[in-house]
Amino acid sequence: MSADPSDIPVVILCGGMGTRLREASEKLPKPLVDIGGRPILWHIMKTYGEHGFRRFVLALGYKSDLIKQYFLGYHHLTSDFTLRLARPDAPVFHTTSGNEDWEITFVETGLTTATAARLRRLTPHLDAERFALTYGDGIGDVDLTAGLAHHLAQGRLGTLTGVHPSSRYGEMRVEDATVLEFNEKPTLADGWVNGGFFVFEREFIDKYVDDDPGVMLESTPLQQLARDRELSVYEHEGFWMGMDTFRDWTELNSLWDSGRAPWKTWED
């Protein structure tokens, strides 16, 4: 069994309100909150694009119009150009920024719809035998090529990327009763949490997902898939972080501004 990532639709759940990120997202949907001047959604799509994925299906909800407007004006927002206001000419672009070979489908899935129903409402646009899925607020240096290969080798209906969670509490390295250093967000070596970056066979939706607007993907569908032994895990040992709070947003921007963003695997 093989699969070309350029043919696999990538579903990105973009409907959340980001209430715990209000300082940065009060006027924006969470996927448009920026890291280094670009929305976190763009960073996620660039990560997939680096591994050959190019077809994206965005499950929209809260302030969906702003997400649509961002991409409708994408070339103008990301490029240098000259505009002659005295003549009705089209802009003359001077850079190739904004020329990613992406095909993006925008789907309204409801304002308060839970994640499973959002996925179900996308089914007319999932025209391949399998699809990828992720959240619009988590990034990492995940090897998506290896994750897809793992999914194909396991032969199950679904694969999720497991990541090690970070501790809420700072960790000290101590030697001879002396503090040597602080690690503000240590990664816990034991245990795994769901980091998103899924791959599913198309039949997963038909067998496990209905249109009940209150059902979360992470509850009934994935729980049942796990009980049926049809959910494998691709173990990611590298960087992963969810942008859930203002503190997370600040940390991600600090990494980007310092040139140490682990998830940036693409060339400028």
**What does the pLDDT look like over 200-237, one tens digit per residue?**
999 999 999 988 888 999 889 999 999 999 999 999 99
Within a domain: 177: no
User: What does the mean pLDDT of the chain come to?
Assistant: 88
Using one digit for the tens of pLDDT, what is the confidence trace for 51-80?
999 999 999 999 999 999 999 998 888 888
Residue of 21, 225, 16 lying closest to 113 (CA atoms): 16
Within a domain: 186: no
Q: With bands split at pLDDT 50, 70 and 90, how would you rate the model's confidence at 185?
A: low
The answer to whether the CB of 131 falls within 8 A of the CB of 204 is no
Torsions phi, psi for 42 (to 5 deg): -60, -45
Integer Cα distance of 229 and 243 in angstroms: 30
Integer Cα distance of 75 and 95 in angstroms: 10
* Percentage of residues in the chain having pLDDT higher than 90: 63
DSSP state of 125: G
Within a domain: 82: yes
Using one digit for the tens of pLDDT, what is the confidence trace for 120-141?
999 999 999 999 999 999 999 9
- Residue 79's pLDDT is 85
| Residue 87: exposure state from Cβ atoms within 10 A (0-12, 13-18, ≥19) | exposed
Within a domain: 245: yes
β pairing state of 55-60 and 103-108? parallel
Residue of 141, 112, 87, 104 lying closest to 255 (CA atoms): 141
Integer Cα distance of 108 and 28 in angstroms: 17
Within a domain: 26: yes
Using one digit for the tens of pLDDT, what is the confidence trace for 21-35?
666 666 789 999 999
pLDDT of 18 > 70? The answer is no
CA distances from 182 to 171, 173, 221, 259 (A): 6, 6, 40, 21
Within a domain: 173: no
* Percentage of residues in the chain having pLDDT higher than 70: 87
* Residue 31: domain span: 5-161+191-257
Across 185-189, average pLDDT: 63
Please tell me whether residue 78 adopts helix, strand or coil conformation. Answer: helix
Looking at residue 100, which CATH number applies to its domain?
Answer: 3.90.550.10
Q: How many domains does the chain have?
A: 1
β pairing state of 34-35 and 130-135? unpaired
Residue of 100, 126, 263, 114 lying closest to 199 (CA atoms): 126
Rg (alpha carbons) of the chain, rounded to whole number: 20
Within a domain: 123: yes
Across 163-190, average pLDDT: 63
- Residue 24's pLDDT is 60
pTM metric for this prediction? 0.89
- Residue 211's pLDDT is 87
Within a domain: 182: no
pLDDT of 253 > 70? The answer is yes
pLDDT of 97 > 80? The answer is no
- Number of C-beta neighbours around residue 143 at 10 A: 17
pLDDT of 182 > 70? The answer is no
